[in-house]
Chains A and B, each alone.
Chain A
Amino acid sequence: MNEGTKQGQIHNSPPIMSRDIINLTDHEKFFMEKAFSFAKEALGNQEVPVGCIFVHKNEILAVGRNEVNETKSATRHAEMICIDQIVNYSKENSKNYMEIFREIDVFVTVEPCIMCAAALYNLKVRSVTFGCRNDRFGGSTVFDVAEILKPVTIVKGGYRSEEAMQLLKDFYKGQNPNAPESKVKKKKSDVDVKQDSL
């Protein structure tokens, strides 16, 4: 591959460890707080506690949280739910969704997984701000999607990361009620090992 094509990476912040705290504006902090409220709602509904909001020109256009257990579909992550809302919003307002996505700032409590990262990069969202790293599925921690898709999206993480991680730990302590028993056990030990090593 041509080295020149690595340009996309310049826009991406270097890997940030989960303990790092990034500086956010008061506006951004407010949006993250909103995302956290949806993560907590997910936890209250026996879902993996990830909350997400999509902001367009300082206006919240989509809110979502994990709905995997409710829908029995492993693709219903908070980000995917927000994407659907933007598509519907665009249709209702006769707007081109690709134009809207280009101006979307994503605030999400956990680093987007490989699936969601690929989706957000393909939609060319402007930025992604996340809380804690995703050690199990992360689209940069586990497998670097940006390295392959060379997105225009700016990604930054580490804001309130310990709090976001604690929500995940709380969930896995209570275990995922929808997984068969053996899987729950396997999952739990996975999480314990990985998260302890943070």
Chain B
Amino acid sequence: MSCAKKIKLDEKILPILADDLLEDTPLVEVFVDSIKDQKTISKVVKDLNASCPIPELTHLKRIKAKEILLLIKNNLEKQQVHEYLKSNGFNVSLLCNQIRIVSVAKIAPKTKTQHAKVNQLWPCNFHSDKYIEKLSTNTLFDHSEILEHQLYMKVAIEVARYSKQNKIAHFSKGVVIVDPKIKSIVALGYSVTHENPCKHAPMIAIDNVAKTQNGGAWNNYEQLTTTKLNLCGIHPKLYTLLQEKFPQITFGASRFKGKSIKEPSDGPYLCTGYCVYSTHEPCIMCAMALVHSRVKRVFYGVKTNNGGLGTLCKVHTVKDLNHHYEVFTKLCQDECESLKDV
């Protein structure tokens, strides 16, 4: 029952996770021995931890039944191991001297699935991270949340169709940027690559977000100043069209409060906290532009040949970057796929 439910969800939305959550935990070889007398186990563990600690493997238990983990396999021969322990001041007479080499988890497992595998090899501590668990089992969103994500993607699809039908763009690709805190569409974008090779839909949308903060570098729209929310990030023609098609959706950004050195503000900063809905997988340039912009999540419908969020690489999981966002794919996949034929 729960299995059937999950399969259905995978068809609707699928997280693109970092490799270290998907792959098996890396292993390392260690020397182990058996303890002669069960009663001395706690003494052996205590003495060994004092004389031969293994700081790299603190995620592992030292004991597996009567077996004890001695040290990470190095260039010692099995018969030299006791000699080495002795030289560190450990009383080897408590051990059987039946040294074996086994593989154990090199680092702490990150998910339950990873833990189940390495725990069989050697007992392993595991602190389950509820959020990571939800991500890795694709149970982060409930049904109503999926519907909401689909709705925003449908707007992105509409933006893509509009740009193509009005001959604004050669390709139908659409992007919608949402502020989930106020559940409102902040900015839209469609690709205008015939005008400028870097004007991909996500780049345009990012620039349109900037306009809601009194910035922006590319084409400006007429400002509608009468509304409570700032509509500078949305093309007026598209606004009218989308309002008709999606009467249930709110449009506009929180009003930007001026920032200066002396007067820090709580207003929006770049795309911090925003969610991006893109009909197509962003390329490496756009994926990194979204990192720079500090977005919270990126949802895309279909993969692209030059995609930087799953196809060619996973820019959002590069360890050394100072910001990371979550990525989900397959949202309204079929409809995004069909945009090719518009």
Contact = CB atoms under 8 A, between A and B. Distances in A.
Interface of A: 46, 67, 70-76, 80-81, 83-84, 87, 97-98, 113-116, 118-119, 122-123, 136-137, 142-143, 145, 148-149, 177-181, 183, 186-187, 190
Given A119-B198, A145-B284, A75 B261 contact: no
A115 B288 contact: yes
Interface of B: 195-198, 203, 206-207, 209-210, 213-217, 259-261, 264, 266, 269-271, 283-286, 288-289, 291-294, 308, 312-313, 315, 318, 320-322
Contact of B210 (A73, A80, A123, A149): A73
Contacts of A76: 217
A144 B178 CA distance: 31
Contacts of B206: 73-75
A16 B246 CA distance: 53
Contacts of A114: 284, 288, 291, 315, 318
A72 B210 contact: yes
Nearest to B197: A123
Given A71-B210, A122-B197, A187 B322 contact: yes
Contact of A71 (B215, B264, B266): B215
Given A136-B320, A136-B322, 20 more contacts: A71-B207, A71-B210, A72-B270, A73-B215, A73-B293, A74-B206, A74-B292, A75-B206, A83-B197, A87-B197, A97-B197, A98-B197, A114-B318, A118-B308, A122-B197, A142-B321, A180-B264, A180-B266, A180-B269, A186-B322
Contact of B284 (A67, A71, A98, A148): A148
A118 B284 contact: yes
Contact of A118 (B195, B196, B259, B288): B288
B126 to A, nearest CB: 29
Nearest to A183: B269
A97 B196 CA distance: 9
Given A71-B216, A73-B216, A122 B285 contact: yes
A56 B214 CA distance: 34
A177 B270 CA distance: 13
A80 B197 CA distance: 11
Given A122-B197, A178-B259, A75 B289 contact: yes
Most-contacted residue by chain B among A75, A143, A148, A190 (CB, 10 A): A75
